[in-house]
Structure 1
Amino acid sequence: MKAEPVPTATTPDPSVTVTPTPQTSDPGDNPPTDYITFDPIGDEATIGYTALGPASGESELIFDRAHPFQGLDFFCVPYPPVREEEVDMTVVVERGDYLSRIADRYDVTVEELVRLNDIADPNLLFVGQELLVGEKVPAGVGPQAMGRGITTEAVTIVQLRTRLEELDQLGFGTETGDLVSMFEAFVGIVNDECWGLHGRRLDLRLVEASALGGTGVDLDTLRNAACLEATKSIPAVIVLNASGLVGTASYCITVDNQTAFVSSDPQPSSTAAAADGRLLSDTFGAEQAMELMVTTVDQAGLLDGQNIVVIAPDTPTQAQSVEVGLTDTLRRLGHNPAVHLIGCEGTVWCRTGLETAVARMAAQGVDVVFPTLNLVSLPELVVAMVASGAPKPLIVQSAFNQHGTDGAAELVLRYGGPEAARFYDGAVFVSHLDTGRHRLGGYSLQAFDEMCNDEYSRVTGQARADALQRDDAVYDTVARTCAMVRYVARALYDAGPNPTRRAVHEALGALGPVDSPGMLPGSFTPGKSNRPDLVQVLTYEYPCRHGSGYRTFGNGPGGCMIPTAEVRAVN
């Protein structure tokens, strides 16, 4: 018997309505003539999402637009010097503290603590005891060297870039634009037009990691080597990644090497907890993303009495996240999913055991499938399911493994052709993204996205990406890199003239409301390391019924992602 969901304190607004989409083609991406789309969750408004609040109207977040790095007219503005104050480099010992824990917290060594405080017995501390964790910096002396990566002249940050161009070898390249150029452009604005950060420049370095793996070395090992280069060889105060970086590298950066990491990927909750505030994600956490996905479709009744299958990769950390966020949530809600673990063998290709899994689904029947494979492996799964002759199931996904974008969905069409895309048509995505909103009536350009793309075009001289006629992801990628660099600049500004590494990391985790692509409400606060405050339901359409779609296939139509329900607040 299906267990009753645990009631929540708030329920969505039952007055929200949606209208089915007329099944005729729209001549182009013309918002005034676009149709209201069909809600895949039901012909009426879905209600009762677990952990979701009511449909959201205007954002209630309050932004300080006078902040030099939070305006909407320019990326940043020059600001007067901040009055320097004496930096307090002391900490009070609390119950349960010991020297190694304090050293980890403030990014110093135990030996340094012993020397600074003239400690005779490192094993003997007293509650209430005041310890120096660094040399005091008097006011008015200007920028001082404050530790690894913070010199008198610069603060070092690293763009850790996954070489997505390697995917072109497999026919899975996606046009996101030149990420190196984007990060350099926005860092250049900070340094050259806004006087840097309290007298220091941002020293941007580049570290690259393979997207494929193989050649005798597994992908996770290669990514951890990139982590060590960024955090030890350079070393960075903050590492940024906008091109995807899964596996244990985030643990290597934030926990093993006590460096802040701003990621575009869902990160495991275990890593976020161990990172002590140093891990920020521009999306939901890995388990959180999947739990929201499951509870959304469950509360809509789409899982009642259905044969449910979970397809999971054996990628380090990802298999555990799928077990906790997806499989355990399904079981807690009274469902009994079949789980198929697909081997990736240390590469981006997850295919070991895939044929067996598909054969079992075809033989036993499947009504709902939750595929959590990466962008390269998912299309092969869809093609195999088509070839099996099994009836088309409901496919449900989240932003886990970077799904929910036009570019990700287009890979199914590119790899499997129109037959695979028709099988994928109707797939439901529960995500923080608002992909495809520009295809709907009433869409208006968002000030932050426009500012970022204007500034990037101005600085680089490159043609500006079109916000409405999108056949690539450049417009969104510019806004995403723009947002990440602003997170860094705001944190360094807020941390003051002579911050320690730990002070920078704490300022980064306490930014509060932040601007992001689409200007969907999001924030970083102590204890909240995942930016989104809203969840959105999307549907994949093939052929696209809201314009020409995202890229066409040969002479045929393209597909597209469409928002199909009101955004909901995440409690």
Structure 2
Amino acid sequence: MGGRSQIVRSWIALPVALLLAVACGGGAETSGGATRTTGGTREAAPESPADPGGEPPPAESEELAGAPGSAADAGVEAGGTSTAADPTGSSGSVPGETTVTTTRGETAAAAPAEDAGGATSDPGGAVAANVHADPRGGVFTEFQRGFDRDHPFGSLEAFCFPHGEGAEPRLAPDTGIGADTITLAHIRPRIEEIVEMGFAAPVGDPTDMFDTFTRIVNERCGGVWGRKIDLRLVEVAALGVGGTDIDTLRNAACIEATEDHEAVILVNSTSFQGTAQLCVTEEHDSALITHQALPAEYVQRGGGRLLTTATTLEGNLRALAEYLISTGALEGRRVAVVASNTPGEAEATEASLVATLEAAGVDVRAFDVLDCAGTSVCFGGMAESVQRLIEEGVDVLFPTVNALSLPAYITEMVTQGFAPGDVRFYNSDFNNQGNEIVSGLIVTFGGEAAGELYDGTVLLVHGDSGRYRLPDHLPATAFDEMCMREYAENSAIGEYYDPRDPVETNKHGMVGLVCSIYRVALRGLYDAGPNPTRADIFAALENLGPVDLVSMLPGSLAPGKWTMGDSLQPVTFHYPCPFEGMGTTAGTCHVPNDYSELRVGVN
């Protein structure tokens, strides 16, 4: 196709940390090339595995009541969803606080007295003194009532507080858990391999972020029950090239973290997908905490050890289908779905999105699966798939492929004659397409024509993507602000990232994501007690209840519920961005609806 060679050369060098979701690994069982299935002739979709997210049908989803759209806390989902913040202070106060010294010598609030009071469970009563009064009201206020803000790793004033070592002597009760340390691992793609080729990665330094929060825990707060965090860095190649597919490389990183380092918990804020997730959780009895939508099968097989701040892939796609069906957007439309043969993804797409659409009588003309050939770019069968859109008269497309492949697909559509308005696009957080940086790549590598074709796409996402642009948004949520302040004051880099700046907002967002993931891990370690086994820690993690996510959107963990995201909301992709001077570097942006469109209870 015209222009494809240029795109191929460019995309091989894309930074995974920038994308946060380069998910098209190799080794899938799905056959190469585009696999076509059309309405009326395709075999029934496979039965969806038990979904640990537990997404209900649309009637069970509850739209947010009483939260004005103008009261929008801007948040940042890693590398693209954005929050506005005031660096000078924090909303939400804790009574009886004292001060402690930070790792760089500044003073910070210390834990409140033990009698400061617990969170009230009265849904209609006044907000208790130690319960954060979320200014957005409605479901946001009710969500905050479930937190224990006196928890050493639960405050909105500081990342953690000193809390003692427990009455019993510290032992070495399990692998990776010594008397004085407990081992965790940060899984990071090697961004520098491709940054050197001229591509920027405007999400800051996730390694420094994890290291800084580790230093705060160990030096200010005495570790967890006196046991210091031994955080190991495990790096993995960014792209599957040079004869080794990406899934194999990720599994090698799993083995290094779990066997060589004996890490109890692995944390990741960029991209770590495919069967390596099962290597960590199913094969090596370690936990993995990440931020991407995951296949329900993988989450289930992880047995409470595979956790994400998002939803399942199936949950996100099923909710998208139900949302569009409920609004009548698909009536009389001819629909196609495109997926890739990344392990677990095509199966999840068919069992959730395609099955839900067909069950509602939607005219699904094609379900195509592109071949990634063991790399992060899925070109196999692309031209044939686009040709099929023309043959079937498709006017609605769900492109669930990854961040490297979607720009190529849109460009192929332009090459074959599609013009703006010919097709409506709908997408989700599947493969992090809800990330503004990721969606901006459609213009960066597909050009203006690709951006104009994709303009108006509606995405159902779990973050607060683009809300910082709205003129009447509120300052950052208390959690996002605390995380940014703690990082800026304790990092050797020493920078405060402005969430209102179109570039710095992505770095601000990464700080919030790292902070959120790490706090989940630390709360689980603390709740497991002074001498926990691995099983104790995993049980504690799934019993955390409400958790702090970026933008303080509703999220929780519970027995059998291992995906934290409890809300989804629609945003619209625009090119060019209607907010002058506030678009991405590609000139694109996401524009959110007001919170009246927030769909809670989706997980």
Q: CA deviation at 1:63?
A: 1.2
Matched, 1:311 2:311: no
Identity, in percent, stands at 37
Is the CA contact (8 Å cut-off) linking 1:406 and 1:550 kept in structure 2? no
Residue of 250, 274, 278 corresponding to 1:223: 250
Structure 2 unmatched ranges of 5 or more: 1-38, 41-55, 71-81, 85-137
- Show the counterpart of 1:463: 495
Is 2:166 the partner of 1:82? yes
User: Counterparts of 1:105-116 in structure 2 under 5 Å?
Assistant: none
Q: Distance in 2 between matches of 1:411 and 1:143?
A: 50
Q: Deviations over 1:416-459 (max 9, x none)?
A: 22221111111111011111111113311211111111111111
Q: CA separation in 1, counterparts of 2:585 and 2:61?
A: 42
Distance of aligned partners of 1:428 and 1:164 in 2 relative to their CA distance in 1, 3 Å threshold = farther
2:141 to 17, 42, 58: 58
Contact 1:410 1:559 in 2 (8 A): yes
8 A contact 1:283–1:532 mirrored in 2: yes
> In the alignment, which residue of structure 2 is the partner of 1:108?
none
Deviation at 1:160, TM superposition (A): 0.9
User: What is the DSSP-based 3-state SS (H/G/I as helix, E as strand, rest coil) of the residue aligned with 1:158?
Assistant: strand
The structural deviation recorded for 1:192 is: 0.5
Contact (CA 8 Å) 1:431, 1:537: kept in 2 or not?
yes
CA change 1:7–1:373 in 2 (3 A) is closer
Aligned to 1:512: 545
Other structure's SS at 1:58 match:
helix
Structure-2 residue corresponding to 1:73: 157
Instruction: Measure the CA separation in 1 of the matches of 2:159 and 2:549.
Output: 13
Provide the C-alpha distance between the structure 2 equivalents of 1:375 and 1:475, rounded to a whole number of angstroms: 21
1:301 maps to which residue? 328
Measured after TM superposition, the shift of residue 345 of structure 1 is 0.5
Residue equivalent to 1:256: 283
Measure, in 2, the Cα distance between the counterparts of 1:224 and 1:259: 14
Shift of 1:547: 3.6
Q: Distance in 2 between matches of 1:377 and 1:149?
A: 39
User: How far apart in 2 are the matches of 1:394 and 1:485?
Assistant: 39
Given candidates 310, 330, 339, the residue that maps to 2:367 is: 339
**1:165-218 deviation line (CA, Å, top 9, x unaligned):** 445578765421111101000011000110111121000001111221021111
1:567 aligns with 2:598: yes
CA contact (8 A) 2:65 2:139 kept: no
* Partner-residue secondary structure (3-state), 2:434: coil
CA distance in 2, matches of 1:300, 1:459: 48
Residues in 2 aligned to 1:275 and 1:537: alpha-carbon distance in whole angstroms: 29
Q: Secondary structure at the match of 1:548?
A: coil
Q: Are 2:521 and 1:492 equivalent residues in the alignment?
A: no
Q: Is the 8 A contact 2:293 2:311 kept in 1?
A: yes
Whether the 8 Å contact between 1:69 and 1:77 is mirrored in structure 2 is: yes
Is 1:521 aligned with 2:554?
yes
User: What is the root-mean-square deviation of aligned Cα atoms in Å?
Assistant: 2.6
Equivalent of 1:236, from 244, 250, 263? 263
CA deviation after TM superposition for structure 1 residue 414, in Å: 0.8
Q: Normalising by the residue count of structure 1, what TM-score does the alignment of the two structures yield? A: 0.79
Describe the shift of the 1:279–1:264 C-alpha distance in structure 2 as closer, same or farther (beyond 3 A). same
Q: Which amino acid aligns with 1:58?
A: T
Could you tell me how far apart the structure 2 residues matched to 1:483 and 1:425 are? 32
Aligned residue number for residue 122 of structure 1: none
- One-letter amino acid matched to 1:373: V
Tell me by how many angstroms 1:81 deviates: 3.7
Using the alignment, how far apart are the partners of 2:374 and 2:443 within structure 1? 26
| Alpha-carbon shift at residue 295 of structure 1 (Å) | 0.8
Partner residue, 2:458: 428
441-450 or 512-521: bigger deviation: 441-450
Q: Determine whether 1:373 maps to 2:401.
A: yes
Distance 2:386 2:312 in 1: 28
- Partner of residue 441 from structure 2, selected from 386, 411, 415: 411
Partner deviation per Cα, 1:80-115 (whole Å, 9 max, x = no partner): 3433xxxxxxxxxxxxxxxxxxxxxxxxxxxxxxxx
CA distance 1:550–1:241, change in 2 (3 Å): same
Instruction: Give the whole-Å Cα distance in 2 for the aligned partners of 1:537 and 1:434.
Output: 9
Matches within 5 A, 1:63-462: 63-83=147-167, 140=168, 142-168=169-195, 173-337=200-364, 338-391=366-419, 392-444=422-474, 445-460=476-491, 461-462=493-494
Distance 1:448 1:30 in 2: 11
Give the residue type in structure 2 aligned to 1:65. Answer: R
Matched residues, number: 477
Deviations 1:227-252 (A, max 9, x none): 11111111110011111112111111
Q: Deviations over 1:315-337 (max 9, x none)?
A: 11111111112111211221242
Deviation at residue 543 of structure 1 after TM alignment: 1.3
Counterpart contact for 1:163–1:208, Cα < 8 Å: yes
* 1:7-22 correspondence to structure 2 within 5 Å: 8-9=59-60, 12=63
- Residue 226 of structure 1 and its aligned partner are, at CA, apart by 0.8
| Cα distance in 2 for residues equivalent to 1:6 and 1:195 | 46
Letter in 2 for 1:459: N
Tell me which residue corresponds to 2:134: none
> Which deviates more from structure 2 when the two are superposed, residues 461-470 or residues 222-231?
461-470
* SS at 2:141 equivalent: coil
Q: How many Å separate the matches in 2 of 1:11 and 1:178?
A: 37
Whole-angstrom distance in 1 between the partners of 2:296 and 2:156: 33
Q: Is 1:541 paired with 2:574?
A: yes
Report if aligned partners of 2:180, 2:226 keep a CA contact under 8 Å in 1: yes
Given that residues 62 and 599 in structure 2 are in contact (C-alpha distance below 8 angstroms), is that contact kept between their aligned partners in structure 1? no
For the 8 Å contact 1:165–1:173, the answer to whether it is kept is no
1:547-562 equivalent positions in 2, closer than 5 A = 547-553=580-586, 558-562=587-591
Deviation, 1:219, is 1.0
Query: 1:167–1:384: structure 2 CA closer, same or farther, 3 Å change rule?
Result: farther
Report the CA distance between 1:56 and its aligned residue: 4.4
Counterparts of 2:579 and 2:156, CA distance in 1: 30
Query: Structure 1 9/224 Cα, relative in aligned 2: closer, same or farther at 3 Å?
Result: closer
Q: Give the conservation status (yes or no) of the 8 Å contact 2:61–2:600.
A: no
Q: Is the CA contact 1:164–1:243 (under 8 Å) kept in the aligned structure 2?
A: no
Q: 1:57 to 1:518 in 2, by over 3 A?
A: closer
Aligned residue identity for 1:559: T
Cα displacement (A) at 1:488 = 1.4
Name the CA shift for 1:364/1:7 in 2 (closer, same or farther; >3 Å): closer
Letter in 2 for 1:419: A
SS in structure 1 at match of 2:445: helix
Cα offset for 1:157? Answer: 0.3
| Structure 2 residue identity aligned to 1:521 | P
Greater RCO structure (CA 8 Å; 6+ sep): 2
Q: C-alpha offsets along residues 468-526 of structure 1, whole Å, 9 cap, x if unaligned?
A: 12325111000000111111111111111100011011111111111111111111111
- Aligned amino acid, residue 196 of structure 1: G
Contiguous gaps of at least 5 residues in structure 1: 20-28, 32-54, 84-139
Equivalent residue letter for 2:148: D
Please report the TM-score for the alignment, with normalisation by the length of structure 2. Answer: 0.75
Cα distance in 1 for partners of 2:175, 2:211 equals: 22
